[in-house]
Amino acid sequence: MVDYHAANQSYQYGPSSAGNGAGGGGSMGDYMAQEDDWDRDLLLDPAWEKQQRKTFTAWCNSHLRKAGTQIENIDEDFRDGLKLMLLLEVISGERLPKPERGKMRVHKINNVNKALDFIASKGVKLVSIGAEEIVDGNAKMTLGMIWTIILRFAIQDISVEETSAKEGLLLWCQRKTAPYKNVNVQNFHISWKDGLAFNALIHRHRPELIEYDKLRKDDPVTNLNNAFEVAEKYLDIPKMLDAEDIVNTARPDEKAIMTYVSSFYHAFSGAQKAETAANRICKVLAVNQENEHLMEDYERLASDLLEWIRRTIPWLEDRVPQKTIQEMQQKLEDFRDYRRVHKPPKVQEKCQLEINFNTLQTKLRLSNRPAFMPSEGRMVSDINNCWQHLEQAEKGYEEWLLNEIRRLERLDHLAEKFRQKASIHEAWTDGKEAMLKHRDYETATLSDIKALIRKHEAFESDLAAHQDRVEQIAAIAQELNELDYYDSHNVNTRCQKICDQWDALGSLTHSRREALEKTEKQLETIDQLHLEYAKRAAPFNNWMESAMEDLQDMFIVHTIEEIEGLISAHDQFKSTLPDADREREAILAIHKEAQRIAESNHIKLSGSNPYTTVTPQIINSKWEKVQQLVPKRDHALLEEQSKQQSNEHLRRQFASQANIVGPWIQTKMEEIGRISIEMNGTLEDQLSHLKQYERSIVDYKPNLDLLEQQHQLIQEALIFDNKHTNYTMEHIRVGWEQLLTTIARTINEVENQILTRDAKGISQEQMQEFRASFNHFDKDHGGALGPEEFKACLISLGYDVENDRQGDAEFNRIMSVVDPNHSGLVTFQAFIDFMSRETTDTDTADQVIASFKVLAGDKNFITAEELRRELPPDQAEYCIARMAPYQGPDAAPGALDYKSFSTALYGESDL
């Protein structure tokens, strides 16, 4: 450093002192041109000049004292140029040319010119300031020159958010004092008169030096003196202003205030670095907090959905049959309610859960964080497995319900048929045992005996005719047992009673025949006509009973063909009625002939035909009953035919709609697959197109609702098959859910690509190039590349992955990134993530560690107090709660390990 203390002494050089504001920057000329408040034609305001003299003198001495000197009178002590050149060397850290030794005016002018030339070399345009005016002691010009030096070396390099100089310094002051009450910094004059702004600046950076809450706005002198004394004593900022001068001036001098405030800025410049570091950390922590919130939301939603599935599956797997059709139909209605009301929202939740998971993973990749691994059992694949189990249980439950209803319907039909046949048989057997046990032949005449024999033969014929009905009753009871009919006990009891009674009748019949045959030789005459009548009347009577039974028989059919078969059989039965009528007439003719012979031979008949109880009146009555039942049967069959025709209409109606909706869903699935491969235009255009496409799909929902209504009608009609279509409602529902899920996933993929593009700064052209490269090698349009296809794609993009040892190693490294699960396929999203990671820069763990180190003052640890001072409250507490204690040899009480915390934010692989 050149010694400027005496003009006649020889110049000595030593090490230069580095001063504040060193180094050249932008041009100062433009700024100086804007300083229109420096009136070069008028005298300074006396109050302002006084403030400037004191402030500029103190500012100069704060730097000159580093060289072991100072000034007393600012317009006198710079006249020879020696201390002026020394001041410039101290504040710039550079050497100026040697000063001239003489004390003549020309020597002084040359020295001042050297100083002015140095100032001009730093890009400062000096207007109307010449060396002669400084040498002559012009106070106004000297103060202007010093203000120019202050602007260039103390204020110009201040920059806050791309502002500079005065605006930058003002913005810095506003930000630092914003939290303090009664402080509103809008300028560099009256905003500082009450002294609170000075105290707020000190308290913000050194709160232990100022008791801010005890200051009063109505005591400005005390406030100002407190700030000036604290700054001088603890911050090494000399007192540049007088409190009384500021308070008693209507508008304090702006340049004096700016000069003094700039000293605070430079004194706290280290804190500015800490603020920058804190901002970086806050940004990283905000990302981490948002990601943790998304993870918690995913865990909660996944738990709720899995819990619903776990509650629902046991209900669907409960296959305990009910006793009646009504109870089973209520179960079916509950199941339909589940399908219509309870399941659709869960389908949406499942789809939204997958979208949230994909978005979260994309955000984690973009912020260079480890991938999210849900807790055990809550992976998307786990949810899909549980969902598949749910749908399998649902399908099995529906099949079981329908089969069970069919079984109960069959059971009811069989049970009614059993009761009908049993009632007919029981009515026929009523009194038969007493008749067979009657010993009337012991006292009967010979003719009576023969009559009894004939009567017994007719009974045996009748008995044989009823054998078939008994076997039918037993067969129906057996089938009811095999189908697990709920009232099987009563059916079995009644059937056993009928069988036992039948066996007893057989035994009694055999015993009576033996008794009658024993006396048969004694019988000589028999009324052949009565016998013939009885023999023909009995089977005819039985035929009429069977006909009445068949005409009243319940029937159940499921198709139009089945009812047409019954109608055909009924028509065939009606075609036999003329022959039956002729047989009836023939039987009645036998009876009339017997009456005619008896009358013609004066034979007095003793009552009714002794060989049978079937009288002509009974035959006529039953024939009339048959005649009445035929049209009733016609009506019932026609009603059922109408019902089956209606069912057939429902089948065709459903099939017609299903054969439209099913192929439509399939076509849309194929179109979505094609759109996802052949996406054109910007990602926003693609997203808009896909959302429009999604709306067109949603608008198609009424067609599905119409199909659901038609399916409801089919189920209510208990229609179980449909040969007119291969589509079931279950197929349509599954296809629709897959269609909604697929379009939602495709939209989410494009949204994630936009997120990736914006976060990584990828241009639209790059994104289109990536898509074109991917599609070119996706030969089968499956949306994923195999290893060889992916390698060819990388080579086309300039990656050196040819088949040699180094290329194979690089390719294996890339595959481990894009296919961590070793599935053998690379999706487009994984490809985009890889390319964005390769082409853009992101925050790293090292950057975050460096930022924490700034806040910690270069220590290897940080304290909770430092975190709370530098970070917003919520983020400070977030760090404190997650940082482990520091274990290094230089650990202090309460030391926290910020390095391991930063590493954990990005995962071990980052380092």
Picking from 115-119, 200-204, 804-808, 870-874, which range would have the lowest pLDDT averaged per residue?
804-808
Q: Which long-range contacts (CB under 8 A, 24 or more apart) does 243-252 make?
A: 243/195, 245/47, 245/50, 245/51, 245/54, 246/51, 246/192, 246/193, 246/220, 247/193, 247/220, 247/221, 248/47, 249/47, 249/48, 249/51, 251/189, 251/190, 252/51, 252/189, 252/190, 252/192, 252/193
Predicted confidence at residue 39, as pLDDT, reads: 41
Domain 845-906 CATH (choose: 3.40.30.10, 3.40.50.720, 1.10.238.10, 3.90.1300.10): 1.10.238.10
Q: What is the pLDDT of residue 23?
A: 35
Q: What is the pLDDT of residues 749-764, one digit of tens each?
A: 888 888 877 776 677 7
Give the largest CA-CA distance in the chain.
193
The fraction of the chain above a pLDDT of 90, given in percent, is 14
Domain with CATH 1.20.58.60 in the chain: 280-410, 660-836
**Range of lowest pLDDT (254-263, 623-632, 759-768):** 759-768
pLDDT in tens, 821-843: 888 888 877 877 777 776 655 56
List all residues 6 or more positions away from 764 whose beta carbon is below 8 Å from its beta carbon: 682, 683, 757
* Cα dihedral 180, 181, 187, 190 sign: negative
- Range from 194-208, 778-792, 830-844 carrying the lowest mean pLDDT: 830-844
- Asked if 405 contacts 328 with a C-beta cutoff of 8 angstroms, the reply is yes
**What is the per-residue pLDDT for 36?**
39
Per-residue pLDDT band for 221 (boundaries 50, 70, 90) equals very high
* 885, 860 Cβ separation under 8 angstroms: no
Q: What is the pLDDT, as a whole number, of residue 606?
A: 62
The closest of 38, 61, 216 to 127, measured between CA atoms, is 38
Q: Cβ contacts of residue 560 below 8 Å, gap of 6+?
A: 641, 644, 645, 647, 648
> Percentage of the chain surpassing pLDDT 70?
89
Instruction: State the average pLDDT over residues 785-795.
Output: 83
Its pTM stands at 0.50
pLDDT recorded at residue 160: 64
Average pLDDT over residues 244-259: 89
Cα–Cα distance measured from residue 543 to residue 668, given in angstroms and rounded to the nearest whole number: 65
* Cα distance between residue 897 and residue 856, in whole Å: 11
pLDDT tens, residue by residue, 166-192: 888 898 899 889 889 899 999 999 999
- pLDDT, tens digit, 9 for 90 and up, residues 355-370: 988 988 888 888 888 8
CA dist 25 and 159 (Å) reads 12
| CATH node for 660-836 | 1.20.58.60
How many residues would you count in the chain? 911
Q: What is the pLDDT of residues 576-608, one digit of tens each?
A: 889 999 989 998 898 888 777 667 755 456 667
Q: Which residues pair with 176 in a beta bridge?
A: none
Single-letter amino acid, residue 752: N
What local confidence, expressed as pLDDT, does residue 641 receive? 83
Return residue ranges of the chain for CATH 1.10.238.10: 845-906
| Mean of the per-residue pLDDT values of the chain | 81
Mean pLDDT, range 521-530, rounded to an integer: 53
How many Cα atoms sit within 13 Å of 463 on the Cβ side?
20
Report CA-CA distances (Å) from 587 to 216, 450, 608, 752: 135, 21, 15, 95
**Vertex 864: Cα angle to 859 and 868 (nearest 5):** 110
**Residue of 12 and 735 predicted with greater confidence:** 735
Quickly count: other Cβ atoms within 10 Å of residue 670's Cβ: 10
DSSP 8-state secondary structure symbol assigned to residue 367: T
CATH number 1.20.58.60 is the correct assignment for the domain at 280-410? yes
pLDDT mean over 714-719: 80
Q: What is the DSSP string of 824-886?
A: S-EEHHHHHHHHHHHHS----HHHHHHHHHHHTTT-SSEEHHHHHHHS-HHHHHHHHHHPPBP
